[in-house]
Amino acid sequence: MIRAIYPGSFDPVTLGHLDIIKRASQTVDELIVGVLNNGGKTPLFSIDERVSMLLEVTEGLSNVKVLSFSGLLVDFARQMEANIVVRGLRAISDFEYELQMAQTNHKLNPQVDTMFLATSLDYSYLSSTIVKEVAFFHGDISEFVPGPVVAKVQEKVLAADEE
């Protein structure tokens, strides 16, 4: 039984994330999307909102679970009995940080190895940050995030406009 964790902030989930989720879920028995509840960053969406959007967009994927976690990824991996961490690589700029994280996690828990999936060409420019920037200037984000997420981001933008 190969169980993997795909961790991230997913603030919000993009089509790039969903592409990695679909491809990773085809190569393992169970994929847990781990939504990081990190007190350090101030996210646009609460942890519950991020989890619920991920649940909605992964509904058709029977071996994908969505859970939130806080603290160290290796502790969450141990708790879930998962030995693989999945991360997406978009560009060389991702590489340095990702390599450092992968090596640190392996040092902290030698049973955990990180596997990288190269982003699809269609989504290599895409990040949650870019989506939020475009949305806050009322740009069209329908090609960046799954359908149900478009409206959720727009609601946040409207609420911010009203403030």
Active-site amino acid positions = 17, 41, 90, 128
Q: 44 with 156: CB under 8 angstroms?
A: yes
Binding to ligand ADP by residue 144, rule CB under 6 A? Answer: no
Binding to ligand ADP by residue 8, rule CB under 6 A? Answer: yes
Scan residues 28-67 and list those touching ligand ADP (CB under 6 A): none
Query: What are the residues whose beta carbons fall under 8 Å from the beta carbon of 36, sequence distance 6 or more?
Result: 7, 8, 9, 68, 69, 70, 73
- Integer CA distances (angstroms), 94 to 16, 38, 91, 105, 116, in order: 14, 20, 6, 16, 11
Number of residues this chain uses to bind ligand ADP (CB under 6 A)? 16
- State which of residues 94, 102, 115, 156 lies at the interface with ligand ADP (CB under 6 A): 94
Cβ-based nearer residue to ligand ADP, 125 or 158? 125
Cβ-based nearer residue to ligand ADP, 118 or 158? 118
Query: What are the residues whose beta carbons fall under 8 Å from the beta carbon of 20, sequence distance 6 or more?
Result: 6, 86, 88, 117, 119
Residues that bind ligand ADP (CB under 6 A): 8-10, 14, 16-17, 20, 87-88, 90, 94, 119, 123, 126-128
